C-alpha cells in the first residue's frame, strides 16, 4: 500500500500525481507546521537588502487592478520608506540562503529535483497582494507567519487577456470558484495556468515552492549550440533520390520531408541532444548565490574525516544524472562527469537529496576524486559538525 503523506493531507504520492498534479488544486490544512516559526517578516526584509539577493517590491496604489508599480533588486533601506498602504515584498531563492528552509524540499521528494525552481517568500502587510494572475509553473503555497486569503478562478493560457500597460501580468477579472483563508502551516497546491489571487489578512509570510519545466525554445537553443560546436554536423546532408523536374523554383514536399527527417534523425541519435538538455536543466538559476569554494586536496578531507562533517548538494547548485549501460553521467551546474555504474552510488545518493557523513568509507570510495571535484566546484558542500545555524 502506498504511503500516506501528511504534506498531501493523507494522500499518497501516486494518488496526488494521478488526480491533482497539473490538473486541479489541493488544500491541506496544517500540512507544514515546521514553517510557521522558521522565518519572521524582519528576516525577509533584511535578506532583501543583501547583495546577490533577487527581490521585488510590488506597490499598489488603491485597490484597483490598474495602478501598480514595481522596483527590483538591488533594494535599499530607503525603498521601504513612504510606502503606500498596500505593498508586497517578493524574495526569490530563499532556500539558497537558509539550510533549514532548503531541507523542506524533502517534503516534496515525490517530484524529481530537476523540476525544482526555488522557494520564494512573499511578505505583505494587511491588504497586500500581487493582484489577480496566473503562472506557467506548479506551485505549493504554504502559509508561514500570519494569514492569507486565496481565491482561485479559471484556467488561463498565453492568449488570456491581461490588464494593459502594467508592470505585472494582471488579469482583469476572475471567475472565482475557491475562496479560503490559509492559516499558518496550511498548504495550497496550484497547477499551471490556474488563476489565483492572494491577499494578506494581516502581516504575513507565504512560501512558494515552485516547480518549472523548460520551454521548447530554450531546449532548442541549447541543443543547437551543441550541434553548432560539433564538426560532424557541419557537412551537408545527403540529397534525396533526384528526379528531373521543370519546377526548379519549388521545394517539393518530398524534399522538405527529407530535410526534416534528417534533422529529426540527428536529434534522436546524437549525444548532442542529451548534452544540451542535461546542461540546461543542471545549470543553477542564481549562480551568484553559489559560494566560492576553497580548493581542497584529498588530504584535507582525510584530516576532517573523523570530525562528523556531512556532505550534501549546495542549495544553490544542481546535481543531476543519467544512467546508460555501465556508466552514469553526472551534471553538476552544467558541467559533465562520467563514472562507472559500479562506482556511482555515493554521487547518486547525493543527487537524490541525501546528506551523507564524510567518513572513511566515502574517502575510500572509487568515486572520491569526482566527489572532491564537485566539492571544489561548489556543487557539493561540507557541513561542519553541529552547525545548524541558519544563514538568514
DSSP for 277-314, please give it. HHHHHHS-S-GGGS-------HHHHHHHTTTT-EEEE-
- pLDDT at site 389: 46
Distance CA 26, CA 339 (A): 41
Ordered domains of the chain (ranges, CATH)? 4-211 (2.60.120.650), 216-282 (no CATH), 290-383 (3.40.366.30)
* Residue whose cell numbers read 544512467: 323
Mean pLDDT of 320-337: 95
pLDDT band at 189 (very low <50, low <70, confident <90, very high): very high
pLDDT band at 65 (very low <50, low <70, confident <90, very high): low
Look up residue 311 and give its three cell numbers: 556532505
Distance CA 320, CA 351 (A): 6
Q: Phi first, then psi: what are they for 153, rounded to 5°?
A: -130, -135
Mean pLDDT of 98-102: 95
Rounded to two decimals, what is the model's pTM? Answer: 0.90
Distance CA 319, CA 294 (A): 19
Amino acid at each position: 500500500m502506498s504511503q500516506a503523506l501528511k504534506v498531501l493531507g493523507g494522500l499518497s504520492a501516486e494518488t496526488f500525481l494521478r488526480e491533482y498534479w497539473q490538473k486541479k488544486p489541493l488544500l491541506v490544512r496544517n500540512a507544514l507546521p515546521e514553517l510557521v516559526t522558521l522565518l519572521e517578516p524582519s528576516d525577509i526584509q533584511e535578506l532583501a537588502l543583501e547583495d546577490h539577493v533577487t527581490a521585488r517590491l510590488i506597490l499598489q496604489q488603491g485597490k484597483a487592478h490598474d495602478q501598480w508599480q514595481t522596483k527590483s533588486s538591488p533594494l535599499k533601506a530607503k525603498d521601504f520608506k513612504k510606502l503606500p498602504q498596500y505593498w508586497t515584498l517578493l524574495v526569490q531563492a530563499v532556500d539558497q540562503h537558509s539550510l533549514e528552509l532548503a531541507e523542506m524540499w524533502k517534503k516534496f521528494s515525490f517530484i524529481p529535483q530537476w523540476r525544482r525552481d526555488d522557494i520564494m517568500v512573499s511578505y505583505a502587510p494587511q491588504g497586500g497582494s500581487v493582484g489577480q494572475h496566473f503562472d506557467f509553473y506548479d506551485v505549493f503555497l504554504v502559509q508561514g507567519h500570519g494569514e492569507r486569503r486565496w481565491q482561485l478562478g479559471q484556467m488561463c493560457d498565453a492568449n488570456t487577456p491581461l490588464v494593459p500597460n502594467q508592470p505585472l501580468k494582471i488579469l482583469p477579472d476572475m471567475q472565482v470558484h475557491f475562496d479560503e483563508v490559509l492559516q499558518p502551516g496550511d498548504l495550497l497546491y496550484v497547477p499551471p495556468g490556474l488563476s489565483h489571487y492572494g491577499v494578506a489578512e494581516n502581516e504575513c509570510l507565504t512560501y512558494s515552492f515552485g516547480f518549472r519545466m523548460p520551454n521548447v525554445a530554450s531546449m532548442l537553443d541549447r541543443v543547437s549550440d551543441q550541434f553548432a560546436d560539433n564538426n560532424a554536423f557541419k557537412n551537408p546532408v545527403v540529397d534525396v533520390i533526384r528526379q528531373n523536374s521543370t519546377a526548379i523554383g519549388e521545394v517539393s514536399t518530398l524534399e522538405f520531408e527529407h530535410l526534416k527527417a534528417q534533422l529529426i534523425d540527428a536529434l534522436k541519435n546524437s549525444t548532442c541532444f542529451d548534452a544540451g538538455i542535461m546542461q540546461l536543466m543542471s545549470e543553477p538559476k542564481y549562480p551568484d548565490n553559489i559560494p566560492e569554494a576553497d580548493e581542497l586536496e584529498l588530504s584535507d578531507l582525510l584530516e576532517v574525516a573523523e570530525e562528523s562533517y556531512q556532505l550534501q548538494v549546495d542549495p544553490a547548485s544542481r546535481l543531476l544524472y543519467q544512467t546508460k549501460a555501465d556508466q552514469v553521467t553526472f551534471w553538476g551546474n552544467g558541467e559533465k562527469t562520467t563514472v562507472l555504474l559500479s562506482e556511482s552510488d555515493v554521487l547518486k545518493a547525493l543527487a537524490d537529496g541525501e546528506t551523507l557523513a564524510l567518513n572513511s568509507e566515502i574517502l575510500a570510495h572509487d568515486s572520491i576524486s569526482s566527489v572532491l571535484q564537485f566539492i571544489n566546484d561548489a556543487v557539493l558542500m561540507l557541513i561542519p559538525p553541529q552547525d545548524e545555524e541558519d544563514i538568514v
